[in-house]
Each structure stands twice: as structure tokens, then as C-alpha cells.
């Protein structure tokens, strides 16, 4: 008996075994009825049976075996993809969903071979059935992963948004306490609250920006005519207050005016300097140098310390990657600072690169001067 004919003839028995296995996938399956447990199994099997009856070249056979079967123009989602979507919404994990296909494969082949006895099963049917199941698995896994990733990003986005209101209340209260002049102890405690609140706010900014990039929205910028000497000087003042034990040097050379999002570039600089303070030598300064050129402005943030190994350097702008803080092994951080900095640079049609050697590590940002101004020349150092 050909396998396609068997699937159509014994569909009810195959679906019963599918349902029995799906019911074991707890806790997600615990409260699902028979219809939900069998979700799209019949449509998947019908698609497999139909595929088995269609002539197939060796190339098409290979493409299907690696999950690259052609998509139908009038089918925006396959049954396997819809099954993945619903399984994700019901709380199944990806291993459980793949387990369904593994059980289906074993069940169909076992029942079919028994039905063929005493004759031998058709080997070509068996090969093509496995290819069709592999294609369904590939479709389901890809769709499942996309749905879970999107749900995770939406959750993190909502979390970041909802945490801002209580954080703003804490910061406002801390500033009020600091203004009371109620003694050194109260002032010191208020200052710690203000610094911690600023750090939490920066983490939330990174988290929200990360979610925008993962959702395909990119970093939002609002370019205006700005002078980076003033913009970065303000950011450096804030960084010096946040890191009083570290020396941060700042100098500007040439004309550094243009059209950028000043607040976003302050965020970029803050992330780079915070990284330099965290991983650089504690007794050496962090140097911030801004240089105006004809078509672009360059920002360099330099720190001394042990060189970064090549493998770490090649992944340094990847999200959720953190190096080992030599000063504090339990230092907080999401591993998003450098990733967000690189995304901000890209949003300005610029670039960022890192170099590290025995003399130190430098991050250099290149920002096209979208709207320039006359060169004022000279070197201006901000003390």
C-alpha cells in the first residue's frame, strides 16, 4: 500500500495517536480539549499525503529535506506554521512541539509498515514522507521562534515602560530630600538615590531601545542643528558626577557642528564612557576626543587597561554580551550599552569600531556632517 493512500484511509487512527501523545505534554496540554490537542494535525497530514503524490525531482527532494520547500503564492501560512502559532499561544515550548512531529513520524511509519505486511513498504515513499515531515518541522520551528521572540520583546517593552513612573517618583523624592538640607546623612542618602535612579533610568533606556531594534523599529532619532562641543560637554559633566572617583578628560578640535540628535549622541557617549570606566584601569583617565573634519565628525573614547582578546573584540557590539568587570564581578548591567551605541551610530548613517592593544582600548565613532557650518578652527579643551 502506498503511504499517501494509507494516511488518507487511516487518518482517524493516526489522529487518535497524535492526540494521545499531545495530551502528555503538560502543563500546557492539561486543560485542552480534543479539538485543541489535535490542532491542525489533520491539515498537516493532508498536506503530506498530497505532497507524496506529486512528482518530485532530485533537487526538489534535497531542498525539501533541508526545509526549503517552495511556498505557495496563495498560502500566506502553512498548516505547520499555524500549528506553531497556536502551540506558542497555549504555552507549549519548542521541544514539546518538535516532540509532536517526532511522535507523528514514528506513529505513521509503524502503522503503515504493519498495514503493508507481508509486503515490504515502498522505500521512496518512506524517504519522501521523512522529507515532508522535516519540512513541516522547519516551518513550525521558524514560526514558533518568531512568535516567542516577538512576545518576549513586547513583554520587555511593556515592563520598561511601566517601570518609568515609579522610578520617576523615586528620583523626584530623592531630589526633594537633597534640597531639604536636613543634614549630611540625609544629603548623602539622597545623592545615592539620585545616582542609582539615573543608573536605572539609563538601563531602562537601553532596554526600551533594544526592544525597538528587535521589533524592527530601529533607534528613533530627531536630528537638529547641534554643536557637539556643547552637547558632549554637558554629557561629560553628568558622567563626572556619576563617576567621581574616575578622571574623565574631554577635548574638542575643529568645527563639530552639524545635524544630529543631541540627546541620542549623549546617550551614545554615556554608554561608551561608562564602558571605559567599568573595564579600564582605575588609576588612568578616560579620554574623550571630538574632532571635526570636512565631511564628518569623529568621536574617540579611550581608556588604558589590559587589551581585549580578538574573539571578544569581534563580538563586542553584539547585544546581551558582557565582559568580566575587573573591579566588580557582580556589577549590574544588561550587556546592551555598546550595542545601543552602535545602533545610534547607524541611525545617524555613521559607524563605530573598536581597537584594543597593549596601550589601551579605543572606540571611534564616525558621524557624517549632514548639515555643516563654517569651520571655526582651533582646539577647545573642556576642563
CATH number at residue 51: 1.10.490
Residue 49: which of 14, 23, 73 has the closest Cα?
A: 14
Please indicate, yes or no, whether residues 53 and 140 belong to a single structural domain of this protein.
yes
Please indicate, yes or no, whether residues 363 and 229 belong to a single structural domain of this protein.
yes
Which residue in this structure is represented by grid cell 580578538?
310
Please indicate, yes or no, whether residues 246 and 304 belong to a single structural domain of this protein.
yes
Record the cell numbers describing residue 151, joined without a space: 512576545
Please indicate, yes or no, whether residues 186 and 232 belong to a single structural domain of this protein.
no
pLDDT, tens digit (0-9, with 9 covering 90-100), for 65-123: 676 766 654 445 789 989 998 888 888 988 999 999 999 999 999 999 999 999 988 89
- Compute CA distances 43 → 40, 78, 184, 297, whole Å: 5, 9, 73, 59
Please indicate, yes or no, whether residues 95 and 160 belong to a single structural domain of this protein.
no
Residue 210 covered by a domain: yes
Lowest mean pLDDT among 228-242, 262-276, 314-328: 314-328
pLDDT, tens digit (0-9, with 9 covering 90-100), for 352-376: 999 999 889 999 999 998 643 333 3
pLDDT, tens digit (0-9, with 9 covering 90-100), for 190-218: 777 777 777 677 777 777 777 667 666 67
Helix (H, G, I), strand (E, B), or coil: what is residue 356?
Answer: strand
Please indicate, yes or no, whether residues 169 and 243 belong to a single structural domain of this protein.
no
Q: What is the pLDDT of residue 373?
A: 39
Please indicate, yes or no, whether residues 50 and 102 belong to a single structural domain of this protein.
yes
Residue 16 covered by a domain: yes
Please indicate, yes or no, whether residues 356 and 270 belong to a single structural domain of this protein.
yes
Q: Of 153, 177, 205, which residue is a domain's last?
A: 153
Please indicate, yes or no, whether residues 159 and 148 belong to a single structural domain of this protein.
no
Lowest mean pLDDT among 14-28, 38-52, 73-87, 235-249: 73-87
Look up the pTM and report it.
0.54
Residue 87 covered by a domain: yes
Record the cell numbers describing residue 205, joined without a space: 533606556
Please indicate, yes or no, whether residues 241 and 372 belong to a single structural domain of this protein.
yes
Q: Of 107, 138, 153, which residue is a domain's last?
A: 153
Lowest mean pLDDT among 20-34, 173-187, 253-267, 322-336: 322-336
Which residue range forms the structural domain that includes residue 111? 3-153
Lowest mean pLDDT among 67-81, 153-167, 322-336: 322-336
Please indicate, yes or no, whether residues 169 and 248 belong to a single structural domain of this protein.
no
d(CA 3, CA 63): 21
Please indicate, yes or no, whether residues 167 and 142 belong to a single structural domain of this protein.
no
d(CA 310, CA 336): 20
Number of domains in the chain: 3
Residue 129 covered by a domain: yes
d(CA 75, CA 60): 19
Q: pLDDT band at 6, cuts 50/70/90?
A: very high
Residue 26 covered by a domain: yes
Give the up-direction half-sphere exposure of residue 30: CA atoms within 13 A in the CB hemisphere. 4
d(CA 154, CA 179): 38
d(CA 105, CA 102): 5
Residue 219 covered by a domain: no
Q: What ranges in the chain are assigned the alpha helix state H?
A: 3-9, 11-22, 34-37, 41-52, 58-65, 79-89, 94-116, 123-179, 184-214, 228-242, 262-279, 310-314, 337-347
Q: Report the chain's mean pLDDT, rounded to a whole number.
A: 83
Residue 380: which of 241, 246, 259, 257 has the closest Cα?
A: 257
Amino acid at each position: 500500500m502506498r503511504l499517501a493512500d494509507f494516511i488518507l484511509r487511516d487518518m482517524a487512527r493516526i489522529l487518535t495517536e497524535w492526540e494521545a501523545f499531545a495530551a502528555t505534554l503538560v502543563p500546557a496540554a492539561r486543560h485542552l480539549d480534543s479539538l485543541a490537542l489535535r490542532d491542525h494535525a489533520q491539515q498537516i497530514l493532508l498536506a503530506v499525503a498530497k505532497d507524496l503524490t506529486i512528482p518530485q525531482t532530485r533537487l526538489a527532494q534535497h531542498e525539501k529535506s533541508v526545509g526549503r520547500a517552495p511556498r505557495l503564492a496563495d498560502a500566506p501560512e502553512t498548516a505547520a506554521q499555524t500549528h506553531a502559532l497556536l502551540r506558542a499561544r497555549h504555552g507549549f515550548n519548542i521541544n514539546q512541539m518538535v516532540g509532536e512531529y517526532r511522535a507523528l513520524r514514528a506513529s505513521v511509519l509503524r502503522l503503515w509498515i504493519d498495514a503493508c505486511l507481508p509486503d515490504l513498504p515502498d522505500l521512496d515513499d518512506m524517504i519522501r514522507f521523512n522529507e515532508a515531515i522535516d519540512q513541516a518541522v522547519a516551518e513550525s520551528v521558524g514560526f514558533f521562534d518568531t512568535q516567542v521572540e516577538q512576545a518576549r520583546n513586547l513583554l520587555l517593552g511593556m515592563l520598561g515602560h511601566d517601570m518609568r513612573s515609579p522610578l520617576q517618583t523615586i528620583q523626584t523624592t530623592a531630589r526633594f530630600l537633597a534640597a531639604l538640607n536636613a543634614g549630611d546623612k540625609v544629603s548623602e542618602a539622597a545623592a545615592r538615590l539620585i545616582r542609582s535612579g539615573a543608573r536605572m533610568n539609563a538601563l531602562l533606556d537601553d532596554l526600551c531601545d533594544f526592544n525597538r531594534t528587535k521589533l524592527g523599529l530601529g533607534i528613533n532619532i530627531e536630528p537638529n542643528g547641534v554643536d557637539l562641543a556643547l552637547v558632549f560637554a554637558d554629557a561629560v559633566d553628568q558622567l563626572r558626577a556619576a563617576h567621581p572617583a574616575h578622571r574623565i578628560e574631554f577635548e574638542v578640535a575643529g568645527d563639530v557642528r552639524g545635524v544630529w540628535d543631541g540627546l541620542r549622541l549623549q546617550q551614545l557617549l554615556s554608554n561608551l564612557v561608562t564602558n571605559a570606566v567599568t573595564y579600564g584601569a582605575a588609576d588612568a583617565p578616560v579620554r574623550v576626543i571630538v574632532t571635526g573634519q570636512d565631511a564628518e565628525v569623529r568621536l574617540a573614547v579611550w581608556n588604558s587597561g589590559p587589551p581585549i582578546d580578538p574573539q571578544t573584540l569581534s563580538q563586542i557590539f553584539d547585544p546581551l554580551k558582557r565582559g568580566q568587570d575587573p573591579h566588580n564581578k557582580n556589577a549590574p548591567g544588561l550587556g546592551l550599552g555598546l550595542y545601543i551605541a552602535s545602533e545610534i551610530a547607524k541611525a545617524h548613517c555613521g559607524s563605530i569600531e573598536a581597537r584594543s592593544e597593549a596601550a589601551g582600548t579605543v572606540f571611534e565613532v564616525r558621524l557624517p556632517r549632514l548639515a555643516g557650518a563654517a569651520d571655526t578652527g582651533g582646539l577647545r579643551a573642556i576642563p
